[in-house]
Structure 1
Amino acid sequence: MLKKQLRGISSLLSSISLIGVCVGMTSTLLSLRATIEDFGTLVTGFIMSAYFIGYLFGSTRAPKDIRRVGYIRSFGGLAALAAASVLVQAIWIDPVVWFVMRFVTGFAISGIFVIVESWLNTMADNKSRGTLLSIYLVIIYSGLIAGQLILGVADPGGFIAFAIVVLLINLALIPILVSVTVEPTTHENRKVPVRMLLNTVPLGVINAFIMQACYAMFYGIGPMYASYIGLSVVQITFFMSAFIVGGLISQTPFGLLSDRIDRRIVIAICAAGGTASAIMLAQLGAGNALLIYLVVAILGAFILPLYSLGMAHTNDYLEKDQMVGATGAIIKIGGAGSIIGAPAVAALMQFGAINYFFLLLGGLTAFVGCYALYRITRRAKAEEQLHSNFAILAPSQTSDELLTSMAEEAPDEEDDTEEEVDGSAVLKR
């Protein structure tokens, strides 16, 4: 069943792998270029946070775009928007312009992830969800690693690195636009407010908020931290790549394990390992570069799976028609955490608290682990809930699900409904 599902979405996964390359490359590229341009730590932190502000807004807008034009067209439009925003940053080196364009990039990338993750979540059942999301994230992390390695041979002070990002985003459009692609065929989706998720699956909400804050800290400020402790540009690319390689290796094993035992136990294990490795990294300097690579890979192995584990845990307690809405809500929650993460750490570094970078990250993961253990004492493990299969559809403007998307309609819109008249259904406005 899993192989059949993967074959049906192979073009989608091909496209998102290239998007992953661009996301990984852009974050480190801008952080290093801001250092070269002497923007300052605090200014750079706010520029990086703009990405996550856009991410927050994009998660709200994406379901409405899906409803109007479909998954495939929404993906294409958002990818084109992301490419344009990166190109503007290459042309116009200015903190204000970069802040605005990072907002636009975050908006577009968030929408793309809502499309992809809701697509995957809806097609999975509780027996395969953790595995499927882990495979998806393995593909993402492979792209992130490739992006770091490309940056290692492309000068962050020039135009070529930006041009590569724009080229890859455009290439990402080809697989999904020219292939026959699977789209969900459920008939109704419900809006899922954040308050409802907090009441129903509080661990999923807290995990998304805290872990996305941690990811924003590492991806946004990590290259600057590595530069501060004395690593070279090439060493920084290895530093960032090692983190992602660790997550790449561990995603599938932890995903498979979480499909067999209580996911909250796996979340607690990952959080504990992340805390221990973060504390160790806080003690290391540039003279121990190889040891830093090893420990940062262990850190990635433990904390990068936490997002997919939390997403799978959240969907375990939801009905099928809530999953599209829940995906948008979780990304929105994570976006809020990301907005706080990068500027908070940048402010600490600006005022000399550089040594607290990894200690703060370790403290946050420790909280997630402790809360996961607490939730085990408050609620039983989710029961298995099998969901319907999906039909293969040719690329089209809409599907049944999109016509009943969870996005709220504008005040001037009205629904088409059917009513029975003398035994036959007629359409009325």
Structure 2
Amino acid sequence: MLKQQLRAISSLLSSITLIGICVGMTSTLLSLRATIEGFGTLTTGVIMSAYFIGYLFGTTRAPKDIRRVGYIRAFGGLAALAAASILIQAIWVDPIVWFVMRFLTGFAISAIFVIVESWLNTMADNKSRGTLLSIYLVLIYGGLVAGQLILGVADPAGFLAFAIVALLINLALIPILISVTVEPTTHEPKKVPIRDLLKLVPLGIVNSFIMQACYAMFYGIGPMYATYIGLSVAQVSLFMAAFIFGGMLAQAPIGLLSDRYDRRLIMAVNAGLGAFMAFILSQMTATEAWLIYLCVGLLGACILPLYSLGMAHTNDFLEKDQMVGATGAIIKVGGLGSIIGAPAVAALMQFGAVDFFFLLIMALTTVVCLYSLYRVTRRAKADDQLGASYAMLSPAQTSDELLTSLVTEHEYRAEQQQEQEDVVAQPESDATR
């Protein structure tokens, strides 16, 4: 059964791997090119935040538009929009133009993930969904790492790197457009106010805001910081790839631990170790390149799983009919953190505080560590964590959890309806005997 499902979704997996490579290349490419063009750290930070603004709009608005035109046509249009926005940034090097194009890229990419993940979830069943999602996310991580490595051999000052990204996005169209899979449908989630979540599970909200801010800092300003300390373009690519690779390796083991022990303690340990690694990195220079790769990989292993841990912890204390709305609220909070994160650290670096890059990440992860420990003293562990088991999330792609939750709600409603039908049918069955 699993082999048949993998064969059926092979086109989706091929497309999303190519998209992952493009996402991995683009943020680093633009950060390096902005440095070369002399945009300044604050301007670059604002430009990078435009991607997350667009991403937030895409995950909330795009599903409604997709239902009007269909998934395949929407995918084609969005891919064309993403490719065009990348090429325009290569042709027209201007901060305002880049801000607008970065917004459009974020919108298009987030909507593409919504399409692919909806499609993937409809092809899976309860027995195979976890395995298929794991394969899907590993491919995304692999694409992100590959994108960094490809960028290491393409000059960010030229047109070639931008052309490669646009070419790969267009190649990602082919598997989807020739697919014969029936288009999926989505369901409107029940809203849960953020203020209600703050009262019920405050750690989930705080963790989402802070960690998405940290991710935005690293992906948006990390390449610029690496350049400032003296790393070459190839070394910057390895620097970024090590962070993602470390997170990819750590996701599953940390997830298993969080399902067995109190998630808040696992979050506290991860955040504490992440703060320690950030402090170590703040003291390093380009003369210790390989040691930097090792430490930044350990940093990724510590902090990349934290968003997923926080999402799972939140769901531990919710009813099934609350999970979808709560996920949407957390996505919005995380989106705000992403929008603020890159400009905040860029503003510090603009005024000469280059060392504040990792020190600010250290401070934020320390807050998560201390607040997680505080929450342990204020509330008992959830009775059953299996109802909201840990799920890996790809970096800066919060729509993964949203789509999984949408399918969970749909299945739950279907089960409830089936139970009601069985109850109604039972007397009829007894009467016929």
TM-score when normalising by structure 2: 0.79
Tell me the CA shift for residue 321 of structure 1: 5.3
Pair 189,53 (structure 1): closer, same or farther in 2 beyond 3 Å: closer
Pair 185,63 (structure 1): closer, same or farther in 2 beyond 3 Å: closer
Q: Does 1:38 find its partner at 2:41?
A: no
1:240 aligned counterpart, secondary structure: helix
Tell me the equivalent position of 1:339: 339
Q: Does 1:104 find its partner at 2:104?
A: yes
Tell me the equivalent position of 1:424: none
Tell me the CA shift for residue 280 of structure 1: 0.7
String of CA shifts for 1:22-55, please: whole Å, max 9, x gaps: 1110001111111111112221111111111212
In 2, Cα distance between equivalents of 1:145 and 1:348: 28
Tell me the CA shift for residue 58 of structure 1: 1.8
In 1, Cα distance between equivalents of 2:2 and 2:150: 32
**Matching of residues 116-155 of structure 1 within 5 Å:** 135-155=135-155
Tell me the equivalent position of 2:400: none
Tell me the CA shift for residue 141 of structure 1: 1.8
Contact 1:130-1:312 at 8 Å conserved across structures: no
Which segment drifts farther, 268-277 or 323-332?
323-332
Contact 1:55-1:332 at 8 Å conserved across structures: no
Tell me the equivalent position of 2:293: 293
Tell me the equivalent position of 1:92: 92
Tell me the equivalent position of 2:78: 78
1:153 aligned counterpart, secondary structure: coil
2:172 aligned counterpart, secondary structure: helix
Pair 319,3 (structure 1): closer, same or farther in 2 beyond 3 Å: farther
In 1, Cα distance between equivalents of 2:88 and 2:332: 26
- Give the counterpart letter for 1:362 in structure 2: M
Tell me the CA shift for residue 305 of structure 1: 1.5
Pair 292,385 (structure 1): closer, same or farther in 2 beyond 3 Å: closer
In 2, Cα distance between equivalents of 1:2 and 1:188: 29
Contact 1:284-1:292 at 8 Å conserved across structures: yes
In 2, Cα distance between equivalents of 1:257 and 1:124: 25
- Give the counterpart letter for 1:164 in structure 2: I
Tell me the equivalent position of 1:302: 302
Which segment drifts farther, 107-116 or 78-87?
107-116
Tell me the CA shift for residue 311 of structure 1: 2.9
Same amino acid, percent of matched pairs:
76
**Matching of residues 224-243 of structure 1 within 5 Å:** 224-243=224-243
Alignment length (residue pairs): 391
String of CA shifts for 1:95-127, please: whole Å, max 9, x gaps: 110011011111222333445567778999999
- Give the counterpart letter for 2:13 in structure 1: L
In 2, Cα distance between equivalents of 1:128 and 1:371: 36
Pair 326,130 (structure 1): closer, same or farther in 2 beyond 3 Å: farther
In 1, Cα distance between equivalents of 2:262 and 2:214: 24
Tell me the CA shift for residue 183 of structure 1: 7.2
In 2, Cα distance between equivalents of 1:326 and 1:120: 22
Tell me the equivalent position of 1:53: 53
In 2, Cα distance between equivalents of 1:324 and 1:178: 32
Tell me the equivalent position of 1:281: 281
Which segment drifts farther, 66-75 or 89-98?
66-75
Tell me the CA shift for residue 175 of structure 1: 3.0
Tell me the CA shift for residue 90 of structure 1: 1.5
Higher RCO structure (Cα 8 Å, ≥6 apart): 1
Tell me the equivalent position of 1:418: none
Pair 122,305 (structure 1): closer, same or farther in 2 beyond 3 Å: farther
Pair 371,386 (structure 1): closer, same or farther in 2 beyond 3 Å: closer
Pair 153,335 (structure 1): closer, same or farther in 2 beyond 3 Å: same
Contact 1:59-1:329 at 8 Å conserved across structures: no
Tell me the equivalent position of 1:370: 370
Moved over 6 A (4+): 1-8, 118-132, 182-188
- Give the counterpart letter for 1:338 in structure 2: S
String of CA shifts for 1:129-150, please: whole Å, max 9, x gaps: 8877655443222111111111
String of CA shifts for 1:310-337, please: whole Å, max 9, x gaps: 3333344445555554444333222211
Contact 2:212-2:334 at 8 Å conserved across structures: yes
| Bigger share in helix | 2
Tell me the equivalent position of 2:423: none
Give me the CA root mean square deviation: 3.3
Q: Does 1:381 find its partner at 2:407?
A: no
**Matching of residues 319-330 of structure 1 within 5 Å:** 323-330=323-330
In 2, Cα distance between equivalents of 1:124 and 1:195: 34
String of CA shifts for 1:354-400, please: whole Å, max 9, x gaps: 1111111011112122222333341432534499xxxxxxxxxxxxx
Tell me the equivalent position of 1:313: 313
1:156 aligned counterpart, secondary structure: coil
- Give the counterpart letter for 1:209 in structure 2: F
Pair 82,320 (structure 1): closer, same or farther in 2 beyond 3 Å: farther
Contact 2:50-2:99 at 8 Å conserved across structures: yes
For structure 2, which runs of at least 5 residues remain unmatched after alignment? 390-405, 411-433
